[in-house]
Amino acid sequence: MKVLPHYRKVYLNIQKKKKTRKKEMGNTHSSPTNRSILQIKYQSIEQLENELNQKDIKGVTVFIGIDYTSSNVESGKRTYGGKNLHLISEGLNPYQEVISIISKYFKKYTKEIYLYSFGDSISRGTSTCNMNQKGESFQTYEEVLETYKITTPLVTLSGPTNISPFN
C-alpha cells in the first residue's frame, strides 16, 4: 500500500448525480440540486480506489487548483532544494508530480477536468481563473499538464495565501 505524505493526503469531493423520477412525465432526469456528496479523508490511494470501485463511481468531474501565491518560493526553499515549487525544468516539479499521480490512478474515473489558478498577480487572493483559455473543461490530464507547463512561466506569483472555502 502506497501511503501518502501528510501534505498529499487525498481529499475528494465527488458529486454523483442521482436519478430522479418525474411521475407526471414518466421520464428520468438528473437534477443539479439532487446530488449526493462523498467527502472522506483517505490515507492511501488504494483506499480511495477501493471506495470508488465499491460505489461504482464513474464520470467524475475533477477540479484542480494551482496555488500561484509567493509562498511557493518560501516553501521551496525549505522542501524543494531551495527552488520555487513551480520551477519548470526537465524533471517534474511538485505540482506536475501531483497531477501525474492523479492521472495515473484516476484517469479511468474522470469525465472532465477543470484547472483553476489563484494567488497570482492578477487574481491575488480574491478570485480564481480557469486556465483553459476557451473556458471549458479539459478532457485529458495530458492537456492539463501541457497547459500548466506553458502557462506557469508567464505567471507572476503574488498573494496573499488565503485558505478559505469557495462558495
Q: Tell me, what's the pLDDT at 6?
A: 34
Q: How many residues does the chain have?
A: 167
Q: Tell me, what's the pLDDT at 165?
A: 57
CA-based R_g, the chain, Å? 18
Question: pTM of this prediction?
Answer: 0.71
Where does the pLDDT of residue 36 fall: very low under 50, low under 70, confident under 90, or very high at 90 and above?
low
Q: Tell me the three cell numbers of residue 50.
A: 477501493
Q: Tell me, what's the pLDDT at 4?
A: 37
pLDDT at 44 over 80: yes
What are φ and ψ of residue 3, in 5° steps? -90, 135
Q: Tell me, what's the pLDDT at 51?
A: 86
Domain boundaries, the chain: 1-57, 58-161
- What mean pLDDT do residues 67-88 have? 94
